[in-house]
């Protein structure tokens, strides 16, 4: 909550082999040492894709802090298993029809941070009932479920709108989806605290790709866009 921008890697893996490979790449990148990794979990119901399971995460311990992004139909059935995996933060969809307050309380009672994710078409105003109880808002800048999609520029005003709400609640704004060197600076300038990067990080040399994104962030901020 100190206003310092973070860039964190995300792993969207459909196989154990892919998860292991991406995790090792992140762990071997000095810039990420002691930082966070986001792990996407999907059930082929909330989104039309499946992912590795918590059992796979358990097989590959890491010193990185783990953020679990649940893109699943029944998040409550995943929480206790993720608590046992010692994740530090659990994010679940705001689009859940009911039980959000109880789920937030459940996660917080385990001493974990909790976040709510907004699909691109979901208005920021729907966060209103939960301001003050959540630690993070995840603004999805692609439609969830698949990596490699293009950033949707229509979410930029949503970042700014969420930033205005921070006067009433202390939470981080995380932006996830299509983040590359072309859009990173714009997202940061609108008020993002965390940029989540996936396919644009792993396509080539991770350190070099990360450096390009940081350069774009600094360029975007200095230009005032």
For residue 50, count other CB atoms closer than 10 A to its CB: 14
Catalytic residue chosen out of the listed positions 40, 43, 135, 193: 40
Provide the β-strand partners of residue 195: 7, 175
The Cα-based distances of 54 to 16, 39, 40, 129, 225 in angstroms read: 11, 10, 10, 30, 40
Q: Are 1 and 170 in contact (CB under 8 A)?
A: yes
Query: Has 96 been annotated as catalytic?
Result: no
- 51 Cβ contact partners less than 8 Å away, ≥ 6 residues apart: 12, 13, 14, 40, 41, 42
- 196 Cβ contact partners less than 8 Å away, ≥ 6 residues apart: 7, 8, 9, 10, 38, 138, 174, 175, 176, 177, 179
Q: Where are the alpha helices (DSSP H) in the chain?
A: 16-27, 54-59, 76-84, 100-109, 156-165, 184-190, 199-202, 206-223
Question: Which of the 8 DSSP states describes residue 150?
Answer: P
Catalytic residue chosen out of the listed positions 80, 176, 193, 203: 176
* Residue among 171, 172, 175, 173 at smallest CA distance from 198: 175
Query: Has 193 been annotated as catalytic?
Result: no
Active centre residues (catalytic): 40, 176
């Amino acid at each position: 909550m100190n206003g310092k921008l973070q860039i964190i890697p995300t792993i969207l893996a459909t196989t154990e082999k892919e998860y292991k490979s991406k995790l090792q790449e992140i762990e071997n990148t000095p810039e990420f040492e002691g930082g966070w990794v986001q792990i996407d979990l999907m059930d082929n119901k909330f989104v039309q894709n499946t992912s590795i399971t918590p059992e796979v995460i358990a097989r590959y311990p890491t010193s990185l802090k783990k953020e679990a992004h649940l893109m699943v139909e029944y998040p409550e059935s995943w929480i206790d298993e993720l608590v046992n995996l010692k994740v530090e933060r659990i994010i679940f969809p705001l689009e859940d029809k009911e039980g959000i307050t109880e789920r937030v309380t459940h996660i917080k009672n385990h001493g974990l941070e909790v976040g709510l994710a907004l699909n691109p078409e979901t208005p920021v105003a729907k966060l209103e009932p939960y301001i003050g109880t959540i630690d993070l808002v995840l603004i999805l800048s692609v439609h969830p479920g698949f990596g490699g999609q293009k950033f949707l520029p229509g979410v930029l005003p949503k970042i700014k709108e969420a930033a205005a709400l921070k006067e009433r609640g202390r939470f981080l704004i995380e932006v996830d989806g299509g983040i590359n060197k072309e859009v990173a600076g714009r997202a940061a300038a609108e008020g993002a605290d965390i940029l989540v990067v996936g396919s644009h990080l792993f396509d080539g040399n991770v350190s070099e790709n990360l450096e390009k994104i940081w350069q774009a962030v600094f360029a975007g901020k200095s230009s005032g866009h």
